[in-house]
Amino acid sequence: MSIVGPLLPALVPLTTLLWLRAADHSVSISRNNWESEYDYIIVGGGSAGAVMANRLSEDVDKRVLLLEAGGSESILTDIPIAAATLQMTPVDWAYQTEPQEAACFGLINRRSRWPRGRVLGGSSVLNYMLYVRGNKRDYNRWAAVGAEGWSWSDVFPYFLKSEDNRDESVVANEIWRSPFTNLPLVDSAFWQADPLAPVEGAPRLLLRGELEWLIGGYGIS
């Protein structure tokens, strides 16, 4: 009987740690000398921060500083199925919820892990490649309480600009198409808004931000 199977959950985080250390030595992600001034300083090299740094640095006349607490990615962090084993490793901030009274019955001390990426790429490194825009009501609430420019109608064009959606049911509608190719998307193979009552067209409703909650039904980048 092979012993690799039982040891795999322990081997993957260990291998990830060793690879991260090697990657930090082989690829320079820091510097000893700093500019006296920067045009833009971005705190956090996660999904949003890394994209902002990339876009802003396209202007060669601008100086952009990207600050990230974590290190660089590894080959293992690019394997979606390994995402769960990356939790509680150096690429994760290792947050946990407070003990729950009505949930997490099968977890130690009834506390759930709350993985957040501590690595270049942020939580996109350990989120199973999931892609969800969020609910438009949340954006509209933010705008209503003073976050000018954050309503759904304001942010929706920027979602389209950044996405290259390759789902046939979406591509057939020109409204949802985008020529941008840095973020290819497809629908997950499984979606269901309610295990007992599937919602017709749920993937598209999710894209429009019209579903309050969903089991599955997410995009995959």
The dihedrals phi and psi of 170, each to the nearest 5 degrees, come to -90, -45
Instruction: Find the length of the chain.
Output: 221
Domain boundaries, the chain: 4-126, 130-220
- Give 197's pLDDT tier (boundaries 50, 70, 90): very low
Please check the confidence at residue 138 and state whether its pLDDT lies above 80.
yes
Q: 152 burial class (0-12, 13-18, 19+ CB within 10 angstroms)? A: buried
3-state secondary structure of 65: strand
Beta bridge partners of 67: 43
Distance CA 12, CA 6 (A): 12
pLDDT at 132: 77
The pTM (predicted TM-score) of the whole model is 0.66
- 86's tokens: 């990356």
Choose the weakest-confidence range: 18-22, 97-101, 169-173, 180-184.
180-184
- 20's tokens: 């991260």
pLDDT digits (tens, 9 = 90+) for 35-81: 999 999 999 999 889 888 988 999 999 999 999 999 888 777 877 78
pLDDT digits (tens, 9 = 90+) for 85-115: 899 999 999 999 999 999 999 999 999 999 9
Q: Dihedral angle at the C-alpha atoms of 94, 81, 76, 118, nearest 10 degrees?
A: -20
Q: Which of these, 92, 98, 120, lies nearest to 110 by C-alpha position?
A: 98
Q: 219 burial class (0-12, 13-18, 19+ CB within 10 angstroms)? A: buried
